[in-house]
Structure 1
Amino acid sequence: MTFDTWFVFLAAAVLICLSPGANNLLALTNGLRFGAAPSLAAVGGRLAAFLVMIVIAAAGLGAVLAASELAFQIIKWAGVAYLVYLGLRALMAPAAASAVPAAGAGRGLSVAALARREFLVAVGNPKAILVFTAVFPQFLVPGEAALPQFAVMGATFLATECLAAFAYVLSGKIFAPLLRDRAALVNRITGGLLLAAAGLLASASRRA
């Protein structure tokens, strides 16, 4: 893979990773409610899910999933149901349990629980596997070994995803001080964002 090809791929990855999808909206709500440090650590759950998907795509199994409408719909609606559950739970949470923490005063869910949410939302998004199956191969250089190229693109994508997650978490943290004494409003905002993420996922089609 030449530098020019990699650079074009990087530009595409930046646009894909920065789009306001389900995981990015989850990162935004996490940053708002739980602070930067635990929310950024939790992104590891998302990266683990995407790493599995990249390996699947590199092995050629992603094409099988991409061709299965039933598998796509099952994964998609399972992801939608989970996001709706998280959104409704946030909307119905007691205000005292949803207060935005002061800087350095972590409270609420553990990092492991937040990471599990990131992982489940990621694996419940079939569009992700389609990105790795349909977009990655477009940048493969014919005549060169595919696996090393997949490794380079995978590492680039995951690094870009880290930066995108940081941007969304930081955005949530920036707004947190403005909402620290408005826990009920935080419930409505985070619940609404998660339900919006569910709507975005529900509208996903197999077109990459």
Structure 2
Amino acid sequence: MSFQNYWLFLPACFALNMAFGPNNMLSLSNGARDGMRYSVLAAFGRLLAFAAMIAISGLGLGALLLASETLFTLLKFGGAAYLVWLGVKLFRSAPIELAAASGKIELRPETPADKLRRLARQEFLVAAGNPKAILIFTAFFPQFVDRSAYATSFIVLGATFLLLELIAIAIYAAIGARLGTFTNAAGRLRWFNRASGTLMIGFGLLLALLRRPAS
């Protein structure tokens, strides 16, 4: 892969990484609620899903998945349903302050490790349930792949995408953490949860309307 193609790939790729979608919405929301550290660490669940998708696309299986109307529809509606469900949970979730003030005693309080696993699982499922991600890797990457060194160039592009994705994650998590300092009051945090949930439901509905690329 030529350096010229690679330098063209970098800004185009980072624009995709920074695009406001359901996973970046999660980083923003998690950063506001749990802090930047939790948000960034949890997003490694997303990176794992994307790494698997890059491998699938590199082997040519991504195109087969997108060509199958049944598989595409199952993935699309499964992902859309999960986003809507997650959005409803966010919309209805009570601020931490309210939960503490209510005097409710949990049988088993959530440990930091439990919370991190839960958030990472959310990130993984949101990323894995979005066929648009595979579409990016099967339609966008090949434009920059060196046919004479296909495997090597695809690995370089994939590693670059994941690194830029991590940078985007950190940016959204930092913005979310900053927003969290202004939403500490129970009333403001409740409205932030509702806004986040509404956006997540909207992403789910948009995903449900996604059309399979024409073969």
TM over 0.5: yes
Q: Are residue 123 (structure 1) and residue 128 (structure 2) matched?
A: yes
Counterpart among 199, 202, 206 of residue 208 in structure 2? 202
Deviation for aligned residue 1:32: 1.3
Counterpart among 132, 142, 148 of residue 137 in structure 1? 142
Q: What letter matches 1:190 in structure 2?
A: S
Alignment: residue pair count: 201
Q: Are residue 111 (structure 1) and residue 116 (structure 2) matched?
A: yes
Q: Distance in 1 between matches of 2:90 and 2:46?
A: 20
Deviation for aligned residue 1:108: 10
Alignment deviations for residues 82-135 of structure 1 (CA, whole Å, 9 cap, x no partner):
111111112222342499xxxxxx979611111100000000000101111111
Deviation for aligned residue 1:74: 1.0
Cα separation, partners in 2 of 1:39 and 1:98, compared to 1, 3 Å? farther
Unaligned runs of 5+ in 1: 100-105
Q: Distance in 2 between matches of 1:98 and 1:90?
A: 18
Alignment deviations for residues 53-108 of structure 1 (CA, whole Å, 9 cap, x no partner):
01111111111012112211211111111111111112222342499xxxxxx979
In structure 1, the partner of 2:78 is 78
Q: TM-score, normalised by structure 1?
A: 0.89
Aligned residue runs from structure 1 range 97-108, under 5 A = 97=99
Q: TM-score, normalised by structure 2?
A: 0.86
Cα separation, partners in 2 of 1:7 and 1:98, compared to 1, 3 Å? farther
In structure 1, the partner of 2:158 is 154
Preserved CA contact (<8 Å) 1:79 1:121: yes
Preserved CA contact (<8 Å) 1:34 1:107: no
In structure 2, the partner of 1:191 is 197
CA RMSD after TM alignment:
2.2
Deviation for aligned residue 1:11: 1.5
Preserved CA contact (<8 Å) 1:62 1:133: yes
Q: Distance in 2 between matches of 1:50 and 1:150?
A: 14
Deviation for aligned residue 1:200: 3.5
Deviation for aligned residue 1:199: 3.1
Q: Greater Rg, structure 1 or structure 2? A: 2
